[in-house]
Homo-oligomer: A and B are copies of this chain.
Amino acid sequence: MGITMSHLKEMFRERQYKLTAQRQIVLQAFLDHQDEHLSAEDVHNILRNQSSEIGLATVYRTLELLSDLGVLQKMNFGDGRSRYEINEASTTRHHHHHLICLACGKVKEFEDDLLETLENAVARKSNFKIVDHQLKFYGYCQECQEK
C-alpha cells in the first residue's frame, strides 16, 4: 500500500501548504510511472505531453517539497541529474534497491528486507538515529555480459 492522492491532501492541510493543481499532477505523474526513477525533465515532459502545462522551475520546487515531506526519495545514478521515486519507506517497511549496469546504465530493481538487522547494528554502534538506507549494486546485466 503506497501513498495516495488523499494522503497528500491530508499532509498538505496539516502543514498548511496550498494544494495547487501543479502539486497534484506532479505526484500523479509518479503514481502513473511506478518504479521509473523520473528526473525533473522527465516529469516536465510527461506533464506537457498530457497537456498539463507546468513550469520547469515549479517542477523542481515541487520535487524538493515532496522530498522534504518524505513522499519522494531523491537519488542519483551517476547520469548527471537527480532522479526521484515514490518513497515506499514512508508508508511501509518494504525496501527495494537498485542494480546499476556499468555498461549500458540500465537500472533494475531488487526487492529486499534483509537489511533491517544490519541497520539496527549500525545504529547501535554509531550513535546515529537511522531513518532510512539506500543500497546500490554495480555490475553487468545479463545482456551486456553476453556481448
Contacts and interface: CB of A to CB of B under 8 A. Distances in A.
Interface of A: 74, 76, 78, 99, 101-102, 108, 110, 112, 114-115, 118-119, 122-123, 125-142, 145
19 contacts: A99-B126, A102-B131, A108-B126, A110-B122, A110-B125, A110-B126, A114-B118, A115-B118, A123-B139, A127-B142, A128-B137, A128-B139, A129-B139, A129-B140, A132-B137, A132-B139, A134-B136, A135-B135, A135-B136
The majority secondary structure among interface residues of chain A is strand
Contacts of A74: 78
A123 B145 CA distance: 13
A142 to B, nearest CB: 4
A62 B123 CA distance: 36
Identical chains in the assembly: 2
A60 to B, nearest CB: 12
A137 B133 CA distance: 4
Given A110-B126, A114-B118, 17 more contacts: A74-B78, A76-B76, A76-B78, A99-B130, A102-B131, A110-B122, A110-B125, A122-B137, A123-B139, A128-B139, A128-B141, A128-B142, A129-B139, A129-B140, A130-B138, A131-B140, A135-B135
